């Protein structure tokens, strides 16, 4: 398996623009997680899905952020409008089943820069 795939790897945009990050989880994995990494806060969980259903979005910073998982092999994280403070590395991860009996497999991340 190719692992978790994320695109784009790098994104530079201007404040106010819409940004869409994409993720393809490992085939057969039931859980998908979106994280944001910053120097100050480390790895923060934004939202996670189980069987394509959002379970916990309490980490989503504000209404400018939204995430979808239309099918088992694809998820998007959208920021609209983007702001400079959204600049960070965004990771997608997937796991086979309930955490504790498996671990999360991370993608390579998308480095977002908002000017």
Partner 1 sequence: DQQVKQNSPSLSVQEGRISILNCDYTNSMFDYFLWYKKYPAEGPTFLISISSIKDKNEDGRFTVFLNKSAKHLSLHIVPSQPGDSAVYFCAAAARRNTDKLIFGTGTRLQVFP
Residues forming contacts to partner 1 in the complex (CB under 8 A) are 4, 31, 33, 35, 39-45, 48, 50, 55-56, 91, 93, 98-100, 103-109
Minimum CB separation of residue 100 from partner 1 in Å reads 4
Query: Strand, coil or helix: what is 86?
Result: helix
Q: Which is nearer to partner 1, 3 or 16 (CB)?
A: 3
Q: Is 13 exposed, middle or buried (0-12, 13-18, 19+ CB in 10 A)?
A: middle
Minimum CB separation of residue 81 from partner 1 in Å reads 27
Q: Which is nearer to partner 1, 81 or 113 (CB)?
A: 113
Alpha-carbon distances of 69 from 39, 107, 113, rounded to whole Å = 28, 16, 24
Minimum CB separation of residue 16 from partner 1 in Å reads 28
Minimum CB separation of residue 48 from partner 1 in Å reads 6
Q: Which is nearer to partner 1, 56 or 83 (CB)?
A: 56
Q: Where are the beta strands (DSSP E) in the chain?
A: 5-7, 10-13, 19-24, 31-38, 42-50, 53-56, 65-71, 74-79, 88-95, 105-106, 110-114
């Amino acid at each position: 398996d190719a692992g978790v795939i994320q695109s784009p790897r790098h994104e530079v945009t201007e404040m106010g623009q819409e940004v869409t990050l994409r993720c393809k989880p490992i085939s057969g994995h039931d859980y998908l997680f979106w994280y944001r990494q910053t120097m100050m806060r480390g790895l923060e969980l934004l939202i996670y899905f189980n069987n394509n259903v959002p379970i916990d979005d309490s980490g989503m910073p504000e209404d400018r952020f939204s995430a979808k998982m239309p099918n088992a092999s694809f998820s998007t994280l959208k920021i609209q409008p983007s702001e400079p403070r959204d600049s960070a590395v965004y990771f997608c991860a997937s796991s086979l089943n309930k955490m504790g009996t498996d671990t999360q497999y991370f993608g390579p991340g998308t480095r977002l820069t908002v000017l």
